[in-house]
Structure 1
């Protein structure tokens, strides 16, 4: 019986799901949602109980081990009270009082290290920070990825409803467009093959131990257990789009990477103990969605869609790949130069199949050599890179839980060996980037966040026409 088939009427765990259950690569997504009004806990329990989330097989199943040693999901009845956990975190510290946002970030920092989910119930929880008007949805990465999570929230609490047929048409159209720009004749095919080989070998090199020289932002094996600090960089999507005036063909993701590159250059330049004789290279892991659509921003799923999660849309579960992204910490360059450099790099990356190969590689390693071997490879890549970056498109319009509007949505994940992890989520015209750092390495995360925010401001005032 092959992986992914039915075991006694129960779903076997997927290869990537098994990978995320290994201790070295176990990850939990923490999705914090700030509410406009005080939280009615009972109303929230009712809203979650009546949502399509509870009908999804992974949200109402226990993960159990087969007699042969494999994992599979076993359906159970969900007791909503077991999944709602009330907290009353203090806003008082030795140095004074914290506002709601800082208090929530402090709480998320605390649970980011060695705070697993219980295995005797489905792998998700809702932490209600009552006095801070915030709920934190904790979901194990074996259940799904960030795109799945955003789509689930839209399905449960969004307002727009479109048919599954319309979604499928959009999905197929997007895939067709992607194929058109990926292969442009024979020369385009040759470049695609060449870039795929080069980037694939570089990815393999990271598995085998290739790493950059140590810098002020370097992490490594064991750093995932170090104390964390979380800060939030706030942007407006329209500010990202305004950069198109200077660089017409740029994307929001290109601008974000330019902001990160320039902001990191400013931080490294300020924190290095000696003048930079050469531009140090920092390598980031960029998490890429492989579905062909950035995110489903409307309420796209019916009960029947949830019940049959193997449909061709691939909305749920884990379908992401990894890209290695070199960042050169060059002081003296205008931020727009960083954006142009990132755009050139990303154009080459998009013309390759690096992300797809990394996805298939980890699936095959898990299938044929077991999750421990795949986990070892994945952990090596993470340890031999300096940053982790993800950019997720959240709901385009405001959602509400139990008629309580959600003001902002933010996501971060636990268990990363990098000293810095950056997770941006766009929501209703805003974009919040969670900057999680190992505070023993990044001693001044407030300055790092300011570097990122200032970079976008500087981009909007170019000294000359580009």
Structure 2
């Protein structure tokens, strides 16, 4: 038996041993586990620990009741810390003695990871501002590497959308957004059935070849699609290389400075009806992603048009109807292709299996709001016929393994710096759920630490869609106003759909 096989077998045997719990229910390890349960960081995990690229995922969970910290702690002891990543700490000796950064299984004291600050509620005049400042301050304090890289902050402060909030912060090296969201959902149960796990819809695969077409038509279509796939992939890869080397976005008010990745981030969110998005989707015969991209393009066009207007003497209606946008704005978003797109078949695999896709945005004022949707659909349909995500994933992995983390981090940092924003959409549970017995009002996930001044996440939950923004306040000082633009753009598109009789209003 080779030495490599022995290590794998030893590791498997250690993971198969029954886990030992301390008297207070915290996760512990046996002496044998402490010796063998050591795992090197994956290349992607090492990338997220590189200088100037220290990324964390931050998710705000709004609850309909006050949160009982003791109940949450007891729940975490039986769920979250059973996962290896959440019961291992990072050991990094600076690669001394030939040792690379690695995960080492450790004892987990759950109380050290649940923070409940003392809050003088009588002294708080604006609870929204208080929670905003609290969450922003978290982005200035690094996670403690002497323990597993995650924590939960409980704020029993009433806001406009919830009676209390829980802020879950974890390092991006633990897993990508989809991985971590799946793990958080495993800590929840249906409100209607406290024993049942949430139901998350599965993305349907688009059927390119209809069975009713004859063999000749299907063959011609297959050849045509392959040719388009190759052409689009070549163009996208060349544009990605150009972006890494020299191709920069227009310097708009949404663009951050050289130190944008190190600046504190400010978070804001807006909750809109998911039924409105579905109504537009059905009327326009497109996907929810098409609608969300169209709404985002309309919202950013509206926001930038206002920022470019230097004349504040006229009334807001007059100014809002005037086009102040420069011509030919290049504004692009990096979209992460998450684990389910990289896994074999439809099986989910934990980790940071992500590839980058650069998505061009059309920034312009349009007389017909539905034109934003048509442009968005054309963009997404083209990206579907491209292997950009897969090639960037495997290329990044190759660079990491051959040239090292520093070179890979520099390449990714430069590519992100030359674009404007990040954009993503995560599908959530279709029914209302509870977080250790606390009914949830909304999810608002985000990320910080990457070199962009704006991040936009869409998160569906039951009959709601949360629009979550993370901004660099040096570039975007009014994130709530930006959220207003998202809400107003969605309303304008819905009105346009109803006025044109594309679909009757069922509300």
Q: TM-score range by the shorter chain?
A: 0.7 to 0.9
Q: Which runs of 5+ in 1 are unaligned?
A: 295-309
Take 1:224 and 1:464, find their aligned partners in 2: how far apart are those partners? Answer: 44
Q: Is the 8 A contact 2:308 2:325 kept in 1?
A: yes
- Measure how far apart 1:401 and its partner are: 2.5
In the alignment, does 2:158 pair up with 1:121?
A: no
Match of residue 376, structure 2, among 324, 330, 342:
342
In the alignment, does 2:106 pair up with 1:70?
A: no
Partner of 1:18: 46
Query: Please, what TM-score do these two structures have when normalized by structure 2?
Result: 0.79
Q: How does 1:402-441 map to 2 (within 5 A)?
A: 402-441=436-475
Partner of 1:244: 281
- 2:170 is paired with a residue of what secondary structure? strand
In the alignment, does 2:176 pair up with 1:145?
A: yes
Query: Please, what TM-score do these two structures have when normalized by structure 1?
Result: 0.85
Q: Is the 8 A contact 1:253 1:391 kept in 2?
A: yes
- Measure how far apart 1:36 and its partner are: 1.8
| Residues 38-61 of structure 1, C-alpha deviations (whole Å, 9 max, x = no match) | 22111110011111x211111111
Match of residue 221, structure 1, among 258, 271, 282:
258
Match of residue 194, structure 1, among 221, 231, 237:
231
Take 1:187 and 1:220, find their aligned partners in 2: how far apart are those partners? Answer: 43
- Measure how far apart 1:224 and its partner are: 2.1
Take 2:207 and 2:59, find their aligned partners in 1: how far apart are those partners? Answer: 30
Q: How does 1:289-304 map to 2 (within 5 A)?
A: 289-292=338-341
Partner of 2:348: 314
Q: Is the 8 A contact 2:189 2:196 kept in 1?
A: no
| Residues 362-386 of structure 1, C-alpha deviations (whole Å, 9 max, x = no match) | 1111111111111111111111111
Take 1:86 and 1:332, find their aligned partners in 2: how far apart are those partners? Answer: 48
- Measure how far apart 1:230 and its partner are: 2.1
Partner of 2:59: 31
Moved over 3 A (4+): 5-9, 88-93, 159-163, 177-181, 273-277, 463-466
- Measure how far apart 1:348 and its partner are: 0.7
Partner of 1:378: 412
Structure 1's 281 and 90: CA in aligned 2 closer, same or farther, altered over 3 A?
Answer: farther
- 1:136 is paired with a residue of what secondary structure? strand
Q: Is the 8 A contact 1:322 1:359 kept in 2?
A: yes
Partner of 1:297: none
| Residues 425-456 of structure 1, C-alpha deviations (whole Å, 9 max, x = no match) | 11122111112222222233232211111010
In the alignment, does 2:135 pair up with 1:105?
A: no
Q: How does 1:22-101 map to 2 (within 5 A)?
A: 22-51=50-79, 53-65=80-92, 67-88=97-118, 97-99=125-127, 101=128
- Measure how far apart 1:354 and its partner are: 0.9
Match of residue 248, structure 2, among 207, 211, 214:
211
Bigger Cα displacement from structure 2, 447-456 vs 225-234: 225-234
Take 1:129 and 1:454, find their aligned partners in 2: how far apart are those partners? Answer: 30
Q: How does 1:130-169 map to 2 (within 5 A)?
A: 130-132=156-158, 133-159=164-190
Count of residue pairs brought into register by the alignment: 436
- 2:351 is paired with a residue of what secondary structure? coil
Q: Is the 8 A contact 2:265 2:448 kept in 1?
A: no
Partner of 2:331: 282
Q: How does 1:359-398 map to 2 (within 5 A)?
A: 359-398=393-432
Q: Is the 8 A contact 1:227 1:440 kept in 2?
A: no
- Measure how far apart 1:162 and its partner are: 9.1
Q: Is the 8 A contact 1:178 1:292 kept in 2?
A: no
CA RMSD of aligned residues (A): 3.0
Q: Is the 8 A contact 1:263 1:452 kept in 2?
A: yes
Structure 1's 162 and 207: CA in aligned 2 closer, same or farther, altered over 3 A?
Answer: farther
Take 2:209 and 2:134, find their aligned partners in 1: how far apart are those partners? Answer: 46
Partner of 2:476: 442
Higher relative contact order (CA 8 A, sep 6+): 1
Q: Is the 8 A contact 1:321 1:359 kept in 2?
A: yes
Structure 1's 271 and 323: CA in aligned 2 closer, same or farther, altered over 3 A?
Answer: same
Structure 1's 256 and 88: CA in aligned 2 closer, same or farther, altered over 3 A?
Answer: farther
- 2:444 is paired with a residue of what secondary structure? strand
- Measure how far apart 1:198 and its partner are: 0.5
Structure 1's 174 and 228: CA in aligned 2 closer, same or farther, altered over 3 A?
Answer: closer
Q: Is the 8 A contact 1:174 1:293 kept in 2?
A: no
From the CA coordinates, give the structure whose radius of gyration is larger: 2
Q: Is the 8 A contact 1:265 1:329 kept in 2?
A: yes
- Measure how far apart 1:192 and its partner are: 0.4
Q: Which runs of 5+ in 2 are unaligned?
A: 12-35, 159-163, 211-218, 311-323, 503-507
